[in-house]
Amino acid sequence: VADYFQGEWHNPRIEPYAPLSLNPANATLHYGQSVFEGLKAYKNEAGEVLVFRPDANFRRLNESAKRMCIPEVPEELFMDGLAKLLELDREWVPSKPGCSLYIRPFVFATDDFLGIRPSQKYKFMILTSPVGQYYAKPVAVKVETHFSRAIEGGTGYAKAAGNYAGSLYPAMCAQKEGYDQLLWTDGKTHQHIEESGTMNVMFVINGTLITAPTTTGTILKGITRDSVLTLAKEMDMPVQERFLSVSELKEALENGTMQEAFGTGTAATIAHIRLIHIDGNDYSLPEKPRDAFSNRVLHKLDAIKYGKEKDPYGWVYR
Ligand code: PMP
């Protein structure tokens, strides 16, 4: 925990998990100035704790903070806080394969007022929780063409609390219809695929890996996405960062050129997609061969995270 007031961060400290006391006029409750991150720590066979790409989470937290008028968190505060917390939480990092310690850094406004303006006071906190596998089974997703998650010029690229609040209702409707998640389309024309609710999405069509670019500012720049794209190059997998239109997606599912579809994210790492709903129709994906790209890249990524394979990109912090 650290507190921001009078233009500076103060008093970094470790506190036991406990309720917070907030005033009814707390700015976050009314205007949603709140940003967060999600990353994981793993234990290797020697019992060492390894953290995956915390530097990337640190940078993204501050990109999100800037968009929400929240002051930057200094790198030292983020990294030292994380290191101290992990030292204390060592025994909470599971050593069971597939399990990890989920880490949630977040910053939110703590000022009390009712006028609309940026808060002058904030709290930075990091909390942790041991977690197992997120999706044990392949998921069914629905292409959303009515509601929007993000629009150009909006806040889609930020990991801001309000983005998730706005996504809950459409996701809940899809879940009632039996789908696990939405595949969001662009907020303007609803004609191309952007990402899912908690993951970036990738497709293998005719042997090429296709994923949406993050240049429009409407998609979260996933750290798993970046890791998979980096490994894809190393694995000689052809990659296209471009928008896939809904009609192209439908065609690939109909004519059998769609070989794999999967989500990428910290929680799930790789979540295989077994079914895609488009415009009233359910399309099942073919059974994946064991040497499918998504299986191979998942294996490689896990091996790096658990310290079993060398780490040429410097992704793992000890
Ligand atoms: N998109 C959204 C909307 C997300 O919430 C997440 C999870 N952070 C992702 C993509 C994947 O990002 P990452 O790989 O950094 O977890």
| pLDDT band at 134; cut points 50, 70, 90 | confident
Q: Which of 108, 131, 154 is the last residue of a domain?
A: 131
Both 101 and 180 in a single domain?
no
Both 195 and 271 in a single domain?
yes
Are 220 and 200 in contact by the 8 Å Cβ rule? The answer is yes
Q: Which domain holds residue 200?
A: 139-307
Express each pLDDT in 252-307 by its tens digit.
Answer: 999 999 999 999 999 989 999 999 999 999 999 988 888 999 999 999 999 999 98
Span 1-15, average pLDDT: 98
Both 154 and 95 in a single domain?
no
Q: Give which of 122, 265, 277, 296 is closest to 196, Cα–Cα.
A: 265
| pLDDT band at 133; cut points 50, 70, 90 | confident
pLDDT, position 96:
86
Both 157 and 295 in a single domain?
yes
Atom of ligand 1 nearest to the CA of 267: 16
Express each pLDDT in 208-250 by its tens digit.
Answer: 999 999 999 999 999 999 999 999 999 999 999 999 999 999 9
ipTM above 0.85, yes or no: yes
Both 40 and 121 in a single domain?
yes
Burial class (CB in 10 A: 0-12, 13-18, 19+), 106: middle
Both 87 and 193 in a single domain?
no
121 located within any domain: yes
Bridge partners of 47, per DSSP, are: none
Express each pLDDT in 161-170 by its tens digit.
Answer: 999 999 999 9
Express each pLDDT in 82-114 by its tens digit.
Answer: 999 999 999 999 988 889 999 999 999 999 999
| pLDDT band at 181; cut points 50, 70, 90 | very high
User: What rounded mean pLDDT belongs to the chain?
Assistant: 96
Is the model's pLDDT at 136 over the cut of 80?
A: no
Q: Which of 102, 131, 160 is the last residue of a domain?
A: 131
Is 229 close to ligand 1, i.e. is its CB under 6 Å away?
no
Span 181-205, average pLDDT: 97
CA distance 181 to 168: 10
Both 53 and 197 in a single domain?
no
70 located within any domain: yes
Chain Cα centroid distance, residue 108: 19
Is 202 close to ligand 1, i.e. is its CB under 6 Å away?
no
| pLDDT band at 135; cut points 50, 70, 90 | low
State the pTM of this model.
0.96
**What 3-state DSSP class applies to 270?**
strand
313 located within any domain: no
Number of domains in the chain: 2
316 located within any domain: no
Q: Which amino acid is at 129?
A: S
Are 236 and 228 in contact by the 8 Å Cβ rule? The answer is no
Please identify which residue in the block is written with the tokens 């197992």. 132
Percent pLDDT > 90 in the chain is 93
Is 301 close to ligand 1, i.e. is its CB under 6 Å away?
no
Atom of ligand 1 nearest to the CA of 39: 16
Is 266 close to ligand 1, i.e. is its CB under 6 Å away?
yes
Both 29 and 92 in a single domain?
yes
Q: Which of 114, 131, 148 is the last residue of a domain?
A: 131
